[in-house]
Amino acid sequence: MTGIDGCLAEAMTIPGARGASLVDWTSGLALGEAGEGPGRDHESAAADAAELARLAFENSAFTAADTARTGPVEDLIVTARGSYHLLRFVETEFDSSVFLYLWLDRAEANLAVALFRLKGLTERLVLA
């Protein structure tokens, strides 16, 4: 895997993947994208997901739980009737302000497999 494009290409091999993007949650901008975006719009989906990520990451109910790490939140999972939306925060030595967003078809996806694969992708992305 090489950088963002390789990470997103590998994310699209996860069973049920419809789209993937790497998002800066402080600005709401997609740094890279692959596949389809929910509603056929990666940028709007990235901005909406960033708002959700920001709420979770900055909420005192979550931040008080573990202050020794770079961030208290590892994943966010949103289940909709026909899809899963997974957000996996990328832990870095600097500001850790990005997450990998994966949109999955619920009928084809396995949530546990997707979460496991996302964890590995984000760990390798930091090393790239």
For domain 3-127, give the fold. Beta-Lactamase (3.30.450)
CA dist 90 and 125 (Å) reads 8
pLDDT above 70: percentage of residues in the chain: 87
Backbone angles phi, psi at 24, to 5 degrees: -85, 115
pLDDT in tens, 56-82: 877 777 666 555 555 568 899 999 999
Cα-Cα-Cα-Cα dihedral of 9, 10, 11, 17, to 10°? 80
pLDDT in tens, 93-120: 766 789 999 999 999 999 999 999 999 9
128 pLDDT higher than 70 = no
Model-level pTM? 0.87
